[in-house]
Amino acid sequence: MPDTAFSTLETARLRLRRVRESDVAAFVAYRSQPETAHFQSWEAPFPEAEARAFLAEMADAHPDTPGQWFQFAIASREDDMLVGDVALFTAGDDPGKVELGYTLDARATGKGLAGEAIMAVLAYAFEQRGKHLVEAWTDARHSRSLALLARLGFQRPDSPPRRGFYKGEWCEDIHHTMSAQDWALRQV
Ligand SMILES: CC(C)(COP(=O)(O)OP(=O)(O)OC[C@H]1O[C@@H](n2cnc3c(N)ncnc32)[C@H](O)[C@@H]1OP(=O)(O)O)[C@@H](O)C(=O)NCCC(=O)NCCS
């Protein structure tokens, strides 16, 4: 069921909030970084018109809407500036299952901020929204993303990689999962 009351999630250094029209410059800037786009679906530079349309679409969206992605802005608690985004897709056929996506401005990496933002979203998914499974897929060559998911406690189930032809080459995405039970156990 859509969380129409959602406003913010707070962590020690971050505020996860709805995206705003005023985020457009920061959003275009980090999505235009070649290293940030490398393992993602978009090409750098990221068109400003596309960013504006995306932010406008998200303004009317709610987290936990079956069959839809919701993008949470990752903002610094200090100045509320956008440093990245983290997204959840609620499965249409099983609303207890969500997929995770995440992107950080390259200038904000190496500080544990992606992990901090994802932990807040995992707590939201499992504890506030009662999800039973969070899934993530990451390119087999994306060592930073693989390290991040492992550090957060995601499992790598024995499922085959998802193969796809992206940006002119065949790629393999590795399946990662965290169940509600994994989440509860890692709190102990
Ligand atoms: C994947 C991505 C989110 C990883 O970001 P990240 O900053 O490396 O991730 P973390 O938040 O886990 O930070 C870990 C790093 O911060 C360091 N760190 C510093 N302070 C820390 C703290 N308080 N807590 C944890 N780690 C800390 C760690 O040592 C580690 O550094 P290292 O990479 O030199 O080993 C980022 O590279 C990214 O957005 N890439 C582009 C988009 C993308 O590809 N998304 C994934 C698609 S599947």
The sign of the torsion formed by the CA atoms of 144, 148, 150, 151 equals: positive
Which helix (H) or strand (E) element contains residue 35? helix 34-37
In the prediction, which pLDDT does 18 show? 97
Using most ligand atoms within 8 A of CB, pick from 32, 104, 116 the residue to mutate for ligand 1.
Answer: 104
| Cβ atoms of 70 and 88 closer than 8 Å | yes
- Tens-digit pLDDT profile for the chain (188 aa)? 999 999 999 999 999 999 999 999 999 999 999 999 999 999 999 999 999 999 999 988 999 999 999 999 999 999 999 999 999 999 999 999 999 999 999 999 999 999 999 999 999 999 999 999 999 999 999 999 999 999 999 999 999 999 999 999 999 999 999 999 999 998 65
Domains assigned to the chain: 8-186 (3.40.630.30)
In the prediction, which pLDDT does 186 show? 87
Instruction: Give residue 174 CA to ligand 1 midpoint distance, Å.
Output: 18
Instruction: Give residue 43 CA to ligand 1 midpoint distance, Å.
Output: 21
Instruction: Give residue 103 CA to ligand 1 midpoint distance, Å.
Output: 10
- Work out the burial of residue 53: count CB atoms within 10 Å of its CB; fewer than 13 is exposed, 13-18 middle, 19 or more buried: exposed
Rounded Cα distance between 100 and 89, Å, is: 7
